[in-house]
């Protein structure tokens, strides 16, 4: 996130950051426009080759998959908006 913020400060465009960045970084010199979309989004894990998982990475990926599955289950239980 710090690289994206530095590029915005340098006038190289804009950045889409999580809301938590407000609590972590001093953004007082920037304009913040909240995005209130509740659309599902796809995320990925970027890692270097070779694809040999360390025990720590394997544990992290297991926990990530478990958390995402729980989030999907709880989202499915919510009433769906009428279109």
Question: What is the structure's pLDDT at 12?
Answer: 86
Q: So where are the chain's domains?
A: 1-35, 43-78
Question: What is the structure's pLDDT at 68?
Answer: 81
pLDDT along the chain (83 residues), means of 10: 87 83 86 73 71 81 86 69 57
Closest to 63 in 3D by CA, of 74, 71, 51: 71
CB contact set of 25 (below 8 Å; sequence gap of 6+)? 1, 2, 5
Contact 2, 24 (CB under 8 A): no
Establish whether the linkage from the previous residue to 83 is cis, with ω within 30° of 0: no
Q: What is the pTM of this model?
A: 0.45
Question: What is the structure's pLDDT at 13?
Answer: 81
């Amino acid at each position: 996130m710090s690289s994206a913020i530095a590029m915005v400060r340098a006038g190289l465009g804009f950045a889409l950051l999580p809301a938590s960045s407000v609590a972590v970084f001093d953004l007082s010199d920037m304009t913040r426009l909240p995005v209130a979309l509740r659309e599902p989004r796809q995320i990925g894990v970027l890692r270097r080759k070779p694809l040999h998982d360390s025990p720590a990475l394997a544990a992290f990926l297991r926990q990530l998959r478990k958390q995402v599955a729980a989030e999907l289950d709880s989202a499915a239980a919510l009433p769906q908006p009428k279109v």
